[in-house]
Amino acid sequence: MTSYITKKTMGDTSWFMKDRFGMFIHFGLYSVPARHEWIKNTEQMTDAEYDKYFEFFNPDMLDAKEWARAAKKAGMKYAVLTTKHHEGFCLFDSEYTDYKVTNTPYGKDIIKEFVEAFREEDLKVGLYYSLIDWHHPEFTIDFLHPLHFHADAEELNKTRDMKKYAQYMRDQVRELLTNYGKIDIMWFDYSYNEEGSYRPPTAKAWMKGKGKDDWESEKLNDLIRSIQPDIIINNRMDIEQDIWTPEQYMPQKWLTHPKTGELVTWEACHTFSGSWGYHRDEMTWKTPDVLINLLINCVSCGGNLIMNVGPTARGYFDKRAENALEVYAEWMKYNSSSIYGCTMAEPEFKAPNGCRLTQSVDGKRLYVHLIEYPYAFLEMPGFAGKVKFARLLHDGSEIIMTEKKVPHFGVGLNENDDLLVLSIPRVKSDMLVPVIELILK
């Protein structure tokens, strides 16, 4: 077994740390304007201006079974869907608001469709719930709220009571955890009260950010645990929870607890493009090599990766998203053994230049990901005497091993008793990142 001890979690993260790879789905009214899920803020829209998206919300081509099949084919083992984003619109039939999908032309409970379709494909299901709500009448206007630009914003706040909003959140989370069967992850988003967190230049002194006291996070957490004790909760309620969630960047080491230094359970979340919600004209789509390297890097640092798709307003994944998912499908079809049930390699195994290592949690298999394809030989100091057999993962073909020196051409160079040398095919296969599987002694 690998030797890593992670910080104990309240939720059951055992399946999570095995499955490693998930799909995020951001879907809502913002999918209609198709200019980013923050459009109500960035274009300073009032409710009245935003309501046209409610009136015309009708994803007539939405097929959650198709979403689930695409996720499964890409090698994703779980999925998290937005139940309500910052806009406040609910994708489920909540009894606590009229601002919900069952009152739109679409008329059906999307969360119900989602959980049923993904469970049918044996995928775990998670629900994203925005703590922020730019539609709710009791949510006080702060520096992120679309109304914060209006002259009467401060006056308006005197009529708003965040305690009533916190109660609304508890009522809705209770609905989500009671009416849709076993939910594996609750993914909250997000707190912005930390000193030094982003504040726009237009922010006035009274527009303070929000955190655990505004959300009444402890009460919300207790409610969740009382209904579904095994559920995984993320760390964005401004209280410590099960998983840490670095966003749109690639940690270079296993994340540790800021106070205790313990290894934490973590998941990096990324978009395929520069937007979480469908953005028709946004062009910064991650290239295939970045997509695969992100996944390998996360697991090589003991973490998970969740990649986001923003369905179109018609409800389907557009071609660009399909192509990105196909990159994962093609690579995972042959190389998923280096991801599922794997984690960071033991410290005795140092990654050669241009490579990333993962190791099976049972300690028996080590995976060398050839991020930079080596010419002819791969020198691996410290590995001699530890490897029983080596093969390319995608086709199972043997990789010849030599110990102590590079055969033939390397006479007299780099000789060392602990050196293992792998002979590498001169021509790289069409595998985006070839992987060598080392069966350890």
Site residues for ligand GLC per CB under 6 A: 26, 37-38, 189-190, 247, 269, 276
- Closest distance to ligand GLC from the beta carbon of 247 (Å): 5
Nearest residue to ligand GLC by CB is: 276
- Closest distance to ligand GLC from the beta carbon of 229 (Å): 25
Nearer to ligand GLC by C-beta: 114 or 190? 190
- Closest distance to ligand GLC from the beta carbon of 99 (Å): 18
- Closest distance to ligand GLC from the beta carbon of 275 (Å): 9
- Closest distance to ligand GLC from the beta carbon of 23 (Å): 13
Using alpha carbons only, give the angle 284, 288, 294 rounded to the nearest 5 degrees. 90
Rounded distance, CA 9 to CA 64, Å? 31
Nearer to ligand GLC by C-beta: 167 or 235? 235
Nearer to ligand GLC by C-beta: 37 or 142? 37
- Closest distance to ligand GLC from the beta carbon of 358 (Å): 25
Nearer to ligand GLC by C-beta: 169 or 269? 269
Please list, residue by residue across 81-113, b when 16 or more beta carbons sit within 10 angstroms of its beta carbon and e when fewer do: bbbbbbbbbbbbbbebbebbbeebebeebbbbb
- Closest distance to ligand GLC from the beta carbon of 50 (Å): 16
- Closest distance to ligand GLC from the beta carbon of 236 (Å): 8
Nearer to ligand GLC by C-beta: 30 or 328? 30
Nearer to ligand GLC by C-beta: 95 or 281? 281
Nearest CA-CA partner of 224 in 171, 267, 264: 171
Nearer to ligand GLC by C-beta: 45 or 390? 45
Nearer to ligand GLC by C-beta: 74 or 269? 269
